[in-house]
Amino acid sequence: MPEQLSEDDFTERFTDKIRDYHLAPAWNEPLVLHLHYGSDEPVLTISLRAAYESYKEDPLRLDEVMEPFVRDLGWTVQSPRLPSKEIYEQTLPVLRNFIAEPPTASEVDAGPSGHKGPIVFEDLLRSQSEYVVIQFELPREGETVPLRRGDIIPCSPDSKIINKLALNNLALMVQKHGLTATPLKFESLSLRAFMIGLGGDPLPEQVPAMICVPEIMRSLDESLQGNGGLIAILPAKDQLIVSIDTEDTAVCELGVLAQQLKERAPNKLSSYVWSFKDGVLSGVQAIELEEENLN
């Protein structure tokens, strides 16, 4: 049995393992590393306490308990490095259905050396027929770059914080460009339905993610003169259709429309009807009107 490392020795051993990443610690203390990624970049603080406690239970597992930290930090140094300021101020959400558009192996796997790690996403709805997530993208040089774990770890290892930032950035975009609500007229529809867009339509795939921002949905409700309730469908990744008619017949009509439009869409998203109360997502329903539980 090897001699157990002290807290200082464990920290030093870990520092040695990441030395090739050229992440010289800004300063260290036992079981805590403070890593600097350059000027105008935040200092990343990493606690090794949990890893050290696992190591003490079985000192032969030293490399095993360090490996996840070493791997994650390896993702953060791969090129191209995205400035944290851009991530904070420009990251936007986009909705995606992992059943209609399954993630590729490179999007979900840790990947080999030189890889930035898996894409960053948060679950929005998971049922037997649909798996809708919020994914995060950075508009850059006329394209959108999906954020990966290696991009966000220096900014915030917690994807929930990135989620909050992205939704706030979307709200600011709506304030800047404004919203459009185009009435939809179909012979099969008796309800009042509107196609929602951004003024100038700068990034149409961000439009369905508006359902995750209560202040946007409340604003739509007020603008369309609703009564504190909305129903919406998201048949494609660039389509958001809402109605202020929320009775069962309206839900049924909108559900049928969602299924028809999703079938035709090249970028399918959801055939469900999404319900809102005072701007907050309150539930989703399938076309059969069977209630689906939110995760």
What pLDDT digit, counting tens, does each position of 155-181 carry? 988 889 999 999 999 999 999 999 999
Q: What is the DSSP string of 123-148?
A: EEEE-SS-EEEEEEEEEETTEEEE-B
Q: Which two tokens stand for residue 268?
A: 């399918």
Asked whether the predicted pLDDT for residue 22 surpasses 60, the reply is yes
- Pairwise pLDDT comparison (227 vs 32), residue with the higher score: 32
**Residues 263-293 pLDDT 10s:** 999 999 999 999 999 999 999 998 764 444 4
Backbone angles phi, psi at 222, to 5 degrees: -65, -45
Q: What's the confidence (pLDDT) of residue 189?
A: 79
Q: What's the confidence (pLDDT) of residue 112?
A: 54
What span, in angstroms and rounded, lies between the C-alpha atoms of 210 and 94?
9
The DSSP 8-state label assigned to residue 45 in this structure reads E
Q: What's the confidence (pLDDT) of residue 66?
A: 95
What span, in angstroms and rounded, lies between the C-alpha atoms of 26 and 150?
19
* Contact (CB, 8 A) for 151 and 87: yes
Q: Domain limits of the chain?
A: 7-76, 84-164, 178-292
Residue 109 CB coordination number (10 Å): 12
| % of the chain residues with pLDDT over 90 | 73
Q: What's the confidence (pLDDT) of residue 203?
A: 61
Q: Work out the average pLDDT over 204-224.
A: 94
What span, in angstroms and rounded, lies between the C-alpha atoms of 70 and 13?
11
Q: Which residue has the tokens 């929930």?
A: 160
What span, in angstroms and rounded, lies between the C-alpha atoms of 295 and 291?
13
Give the orientation angle of helix 214-223 with respect to helix 159-177, to 10 degrees: 30
Q: What's the confidence (pLDDT) of residue 147?
A: 96
What is the gyration radius of the CA atoms in the chain, in angstroms? 23
**Amino acid sitting at position 258:** A
Backbone angles phi, psi at 115, to 5 degrees: -100, 150
Burial of 287 (0-12, 13-18, 19+ CB in 10 A): middle
Q: Work out the average pLDDT over 29-43.
A: 90
**Residues 75-116 pLDDT 10s:** 999 988 899 999 999 999 999 999 999 999 889 876 555 689
Residue 196 CB coordination number (10 Å): 21
What span, in angstroms and rounded, lies between the C-alpha atoms of 180 and 20?
52
Q: Work out the average pLDDT over 23-34.
A: 83
Q: Which of 6-10, 120-124, 157-161, 163-167 has the lowest mean pLDDT?
A: 157-161
**Residues 218-262 pLDDT 10s:** 999 999 988 879 999 999 999 999 999 999 999 999 999 999 999
Average pLDDT, the chain: 90
* Contact (CB, 8 A) for 210 and 217: yes
**Amino acid sitting at position 190:** S
Q: How confident is the model at residue 150 (pLDDT cuts 50, 70, 90)?
A: very high
Q: How confident is the model at residue 23 (pLDDT cuts 50, 70, 90)?
A: confident
**Strand blocks (E) in the chain:** 25-29, 32-36, 43-47, 92-97, 121-126, 131-140, 143-146, 179-184, 193-198, 229-233, 241-243, 273-277, 280-285, 291-292
Q: Which residue has the tokens 């990744």?
A: 237
Q: Work out the average pLDDT over 197-220.
A: 88
Peptide bond into 204 cis (omega under 30): no
Q: Which of 197-201, 212-216, 228-232 has the lowest mean pLDDT?
A: 197-201
Q: What's the confidence (pLDDT) of residue 289?
A: 42
What span, in angstroms and rounded, lies between the C-alpha atoms of 19 and 118?
23
Q: What is the pTM of this model?
A: 0.88
The DSSP 8-state label assigned to residue 37 in this structure reads -
Count of residues making up the chain: 295
